[in-house]
């Protein structure tokens, strides 16, 4: 009896490892944000029209501001202790670097020298940061190994994202 139970448990564990468990909601939502903004950076490269460039950059900037805020308000502080301190500290520093570059670009016009170059470098910077979050052993992987309920956290991330989109996005339009 005991042998059978052990065998069943180990078969299940092997199957779970092989197929890869579905990510918890918090990780799924944050990865969705990553994919969305990556696609927008690619789209930006195809644009010629300056008004379209400005509109798409504003969309990217809003998405990045909201995404970094929800990570900094919810994921990062709640995972302190579960994720290596150095990795978490670097993530905050990378967010700050991105925010500075976003502010510089916001102060410019698409017709300015280096506008496109700065948007491109921001995209590369974000790609690097996203890799740090998503790679094996990275920030999300460590969070998944921790004790926090990342499905419940996902609900809070979603609600806070909606609030911030209204606050930061709505504020800009007025
Ligand atoms: Fe992220
Ligand atoms: Fe991040």
Query: Considering only CA atoms, which of 97, 101, 118 is closest in space to residue 53?
Result: 118
Dist. CA 139 → ligand 1 center (Å): 9
- Rounded to 10°, the helix 25-46/115-134 angle is 160
pLDDT tens track, the chain, 174 positions: 444 444 444 444 444 444 456 899 999 999 999 999 999 999 999 999 999 999 999 999 999 999 999 999 999 999 999 999 999 999 999 999 999 999 999 999 999 999 999 999 999 999 999 999 999 999 999 999 999 999 999 999 999 999 999 999 975 443
**Cα–Cα distances in angstroms (integers) from residue 134 to residues 25, 39, 112, 137, in the given order:** 14, 17, 34, 8
Dist. CA 24 → ligand 1 center (Å): 15
Dist. CA 49 → ligand 1 center (Å): 29
Would you state the structure tokens that stand for residue 122, as one six-digit string? 């921001």
3-state helix, strand, coil split of the chain in percent (to 5) is 80, 0, 15
| Number of the ligand closest to the Cα of 94 | 2
Dist. CA 163 → ligand 2 center (Å): 19
- Residue 59 is predicted with a pLDDT of 98
Would you state the structure tokens that stand for residue 110, as one six-digit string? 């698409």
Dist. CA 94 → ligand 1 center (Å): 11
- Residue 44 is predicted with a pLDDT of 98
Dist. CA 71 → ligand 2 center (Å): 6
- Residue 171 is predicted with a pLDDT of 54
Determine phi and psi for 141, rounding to 5 degrees.
-60, -40
In whole angstroms, give the CA distance from residue 103 to residue 95.
12
| Number of the ligand closest to the Cα of 68 | 2
What does pTM read for this prediction?
0.86
Dist. CA 109 → ligand 1 center (Å): 27
Q: Cα 62 to the chain's mean position, in Å?
A: 13
Query: Considering only CA atoms, which of 107, 105, 123, 125 is closest in space to residue 115?
Result: 105
- Residue 8 is predicted with a pLDDT of 46
Dist. CA 34 → ligand 1 center (Å): 6
How many H-runs (helices) and E-runs (strands) does the chain carry? 9, 0
Maximum distance among all Cα pairs of the chain, rounded to whole angstroms = 75
| Number of the ligand closest to the Cα of 26 | 1
Dist. CA 71 → ligand 1 center (Å): 7
């Amino acid at each position: 009896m005991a042998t059978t139970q052990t065998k069943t448990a180990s078969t299940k564990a092997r199957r779970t490892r092989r197929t890869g468990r579905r990510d918890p909601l918090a990780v799924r939502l944050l990865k969705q944000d990553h994919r969305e903004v990556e696609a927008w950076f690619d789209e930006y490269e195809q644009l010629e029209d300056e008004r379209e460039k400005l509109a798409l950059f504003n969309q990217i900037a809003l998405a990045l501001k909201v995404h970094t805020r929800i990570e900094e308000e919810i994921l990062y502080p709640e995972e302190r202790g579960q994720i290596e301190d150095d990795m978490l500290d670097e993530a905050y520093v990378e967010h700050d670097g991105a925010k500075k570059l976003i502010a510089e670009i916001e102060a410019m016009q698409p017709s300015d020298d280096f506008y496109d170059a700065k948007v491109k470098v921001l995209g590369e910077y974000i790609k690097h940061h996203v890799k740090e979050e998503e790679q094996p052993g990275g920030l999300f992987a460590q969070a998944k190994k921790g004790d926090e309920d990342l499905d419940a956290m996902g609900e809070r991330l979603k609600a806070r994202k909606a609030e911030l989109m209204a606050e930061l996005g709505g504020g800009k339009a007025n």
